[in-house]
């Protein structure tokens, strides 16, 4: 799908959907920015929308700086930052972020998302996982499959729109297959 | 000849539904009522067992606050911590409402002060003193119309009772008294991290109607807080393990992931 069309496609998705966004590793920077644009600005700017952005690839401060460049208002986005602690880069926490000490605490991710959904109830809640590959670095495959199965099933039942970023490379084949069983659709960014 | 009319068939019951559903005391704690099939059966006496820092007191306090919010007068009997300090800690949670304390819906009593008032001065309580303690708790619950009670901790009380037979007797009488008054209670039990039982003396868990166990577990060196309902009379309940988090809005629960390992990843 051309990057320019992703936003419109995501906006058309009903709550309770789960979609994998597959980025091409060779054009990662362009695709990553296009996906951020689509998820944070296009979907996040919908009426009554609230994005919960789970950052494992990059610290929340990095994603937030990109979001600011896209004019995303701070009250439209909350971060679950799973990487800053382990990087020992936690000295300036963002007010709209909650921090988890390690990407291995997958249950903590579920609990923080649950907390944010209860704390900020919105008719249109969107959860973004950035990314499956980064979580796979820290967690064994079986654990990750169990996590995604429970996590996505729970969020779907709560009418949340789920977007999971995945970078295609040789290592990611098995992950992609696992995810394809759990999501409704896989969007190939750029194809 | 006409055949006699078929007797009306009974209405269908849900698969595996019990013959009688006991009235529930809804804990109000997200997720806990789900795994208890709607809440704790009203009048049950439940042991909340765990080592330090596992969330026992916070769980119990939220149980009382949620009850007080529903109009069920709630009583916290504190042995180990002064009420003032408890309320101070409680005020850091968003679910806490100070007006529940000021209007008497949520009552805190320091048991050591009560001991002094009642003249219970022996290091090891005599049978008469145990009797006085039970009667005093009964009178407090009855007079105030308490529907939820927390004793934090049972372990501290048992330190002064000491003998297993006397502890068993104390608990049987306390359970009966509270049940007769329709009061659902949580008794905090302090145990070591590797104790392998749910109470200091080992007799407490046999008497109570339910046991909720809290402990810390490790995944690759990182600590997770885990909750499991080990026993709950009068209801079908989940026996699975749940990771818990004490958030500003209250205790939240998520399934403990196993990742193919029966004892947890």
For the stretch B204-226, pLDDT in tens is 888 999 999 999 998 877 889 99
Q: Which positions in chain B touch A101 (Cβ < 8 Å)?
A: 222
pLDDT of B242 above 70: yes
Predicted structure pTM score: 0.90
How much is the mean pLDDT over chain A? 92
| CB-side neighbour CA atoms (13 Å) of B256 | 24
Residue in chain B lying closest to A145 (CA): B259
Asked if the Cβ–Cβ distance from B254 to A105 is below 8 Å, we say no
H or E segment and range at residue B61: helix B56-69
Into which CATH architecture does domain B23-211 fall?
A: 3-Layer(aba) Sandwich (3.40)
Least confident of A77-86, B32-41, B175-184, B194-203: B194-203
pLDDT for position B197: 80
Tens digit of pLDDT for each residue in B157-193? 999 998 999 999 999 999 999 999 999 999 999 988 7
Asked if the Cβ–Cβ distance from B265 to A112 is below 8 Å, we say no
Strand B184-190 to B40-41 pairing:
unpaired
Our CA-based measurement puts residue A10 at a distance from the nearest CA of chain B, in whole angstroms, of 28
Q: Between A24 and B73, whose confidence is greater?
A: B73
pLDDT for position B5: 66
Region B86-111 average pLDDT: 96
Peptide bond connecting B88 to the previous residue in cis, omega within 30 degrees of 0:
no
Q: What backbone torsions phi and psi does residue B99 show, to the nearest 5 degrees? A: -65, -25
Which residue, among B246, B259, B261, would best test binding to A if mutated, counting the most A CBs under 10 Å from its CB? Answer: B259
CA–CA separation, B263 vs B265, rounded Å?
7
CB of A6 closer than 8 Å to CB of A170: no
CA–CA separation, B152 vs A15, rounded Å?
44
Peptide bond connecting B3 to the previous residue in cis, omega within 30 degrees of 0:
no
CA–CA separation, B265 vs B224, rounded Å?
11
Residue in chain A lying closest to B259 (CA): A143
Name every residue in A having a CB less than 8 A away from some CB of B: 101-102, 104-108, 110-112, 114-115, 118-119, 139-140, 142-143, 146-147, 150
Asked if the Cβ–Cβ distance from A118 to B30 is below 8 Å, we say yes
How large is the ipTM?
Answer: 0.90
pLDDT of B230 above 60: yes
Give the CA radius of gyration of chain A: 15
| CB-side neighbour CA atoms (13 Å) of A40 | 26
Read off the tokens for B77.
């009997």
DSSP symbol at A44:
T
Beta strands in B172-262 (DSSP E): 184-190, 210-219, 222-232, 241-247, 250-255
Tens digit of pLDDT for each residue in A76-132? 999 999 999 988 877 789 999 999 999 999 999 999 999 999 999 999 999 999 999
pLDDT for position B222: 81
């Amino acid at each position: 799908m051309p990057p320019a069309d992703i936003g419109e496609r995501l906006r058309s998705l009903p709550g309770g959907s789960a979609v994998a966004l597959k980025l091409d590793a060779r054009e990662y920077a362009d695709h990553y920015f296009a996906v951020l644009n689509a998820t944070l600005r296009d979907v996040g700017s919908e009426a009554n929308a609230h994005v919960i952005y789970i950052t494992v690839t990059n610290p929340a401060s990095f994603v937030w700086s990109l979001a600011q460049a896209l004019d995303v208002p701070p009250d439209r986005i909350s971060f679950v930052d799973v990487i800053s602690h382990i990087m020992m880069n936690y000295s300036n926490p963002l007010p709209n972020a909650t921090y988890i000490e390690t990407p291995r605490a997958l249950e903590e991710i579920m609990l923080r998302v649950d907390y944010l959904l209860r704390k900020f109830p919105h008719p249109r809640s969107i959860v973004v996982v950035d990314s499956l590959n980064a979580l796979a670095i820290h967690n064994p495959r079986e654990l990750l499959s169990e996590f995604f199965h429970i996590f996505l099933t729970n969020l779907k039942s709560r009418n949340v729109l789920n977007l999971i970023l995945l970078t295609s490379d040789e290592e990611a084949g098995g992950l992609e297959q696992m995810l394809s069983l759990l999501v409704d659709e896989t969007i190939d960014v750029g194809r | 000849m006409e055949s006699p009319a078929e007797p009306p068939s009974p209405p269908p019951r849900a698969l595996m539904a019990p013959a009688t559903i006991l009235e529930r005391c809804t804990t109000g704690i997200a997720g806990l009522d789900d795994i208890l099939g709607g809440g704790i059966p009203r009048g049950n006496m439940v042991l909340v067992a765990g080592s330090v820092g596992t969330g026992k007191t916070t769980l119990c306090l939220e149980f009382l606050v949620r009850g007080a919010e529903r109009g069920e007068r709630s009583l916290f009997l504190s042995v180990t911590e002064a009420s003032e300090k408890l309320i101070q800690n409680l005020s850091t949670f968003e679910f806490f409402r100070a007006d529940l304390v000021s209007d008497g819906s949520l009552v805190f009593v320091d048991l050591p002060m009560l001991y002094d008032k009642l003249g219970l001065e022996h290091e090891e309580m005599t049978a008469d003193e145990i009797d006085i303690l039970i009667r005093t708790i009964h009178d407090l619950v009855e007079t105030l119309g308490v529907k939820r009670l927390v004793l934090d901790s049972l372990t501290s009380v048992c330190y002064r009772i000491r003998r297993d037979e006397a502890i068993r007797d104390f608990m049987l009488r306390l359970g009966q008294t509270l049940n007769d008054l329709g009061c659902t209670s949580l008794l905090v039990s302090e145990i070591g991290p590797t104790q392998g039982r749910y109470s200091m003396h080992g007799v407490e868990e046999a008497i109570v109607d339910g046991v909720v166990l809290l402990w810390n577990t490790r995944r690759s060196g990182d600590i997770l807080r885990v909750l499991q309902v080990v026993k709950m009379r009068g209801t079908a309940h989940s026996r699975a393990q749940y990771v818990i988090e004490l958030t500003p809005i209250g205790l939240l629960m998520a399934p403990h992931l196993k990742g193919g390992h029966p004892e947890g990843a």
